[in-house]
Amino acid sequence: MSRLTVRIAIVLAGLAVVATSAEAQRRMRGGRAVLVDRPSVGPRIGYDFDADHLFLGGQFNLPVGRRWALVPSAEFYPGATGSPYRVNADLKYHPPTVYGFFYLGGGFAYVHAAGEGHGGGNVFAGWEGRRARPFKPFLEGKFVFSYTTSFNIEGGINFPL
């Protein structure tokens, strides 16, 4: 073998050892590909401690990456005066934890109450069941910053589309 061939082989072996995977590649865990979640939809129920009232709503969960999802949602306060409702456009992130149950995020909130609408934001953290069943339950705490600041506890179920 010529010296040039040996040098090229050593360089290629070295590059193969230190090469990192490209962003679009999927890493393998336990012999299977790591998959991005499917889009899902589901109902939610919660309690707004500032309004001192129960709310009902729904959300879409639209994955945009392995750990990221867009979550548009709406909540309605049945029986409350002024027909209040809230519309959210959130970005959710699942940090790299062992089982992937925990998530956090934030986004835009539009709150309508008593004929007035106010834009604002929200931050949240929660727990979401993962792939064990055909549905995923979730429970989260959310701070909403608009014309007032409120804390909400909410839960629900997401069904894959």
Q: What does each C-alpha distance from 161 to 37, 38, 63, 128 come to in angstroms?
A: 10, 7, 12, 17
Largest pairwise CA distance in the chain: 87
3-state secondary structure of 87: strand
Between 8-17, 42-51, 86-95, the lowest mean confidence (pLDDT) is in 8-17
Over the stretch 58-101, which tens digit does the pLDDT of each residue have? 999 999 988 999 999 999 999 888 889 999 999 999 999 887 78
Domains annotated on the chain, with CATH: 32-160 (2.40.160.20)
pTM of the model: 0.74
- Averaged over 132-141, what is the pLDDT? 88
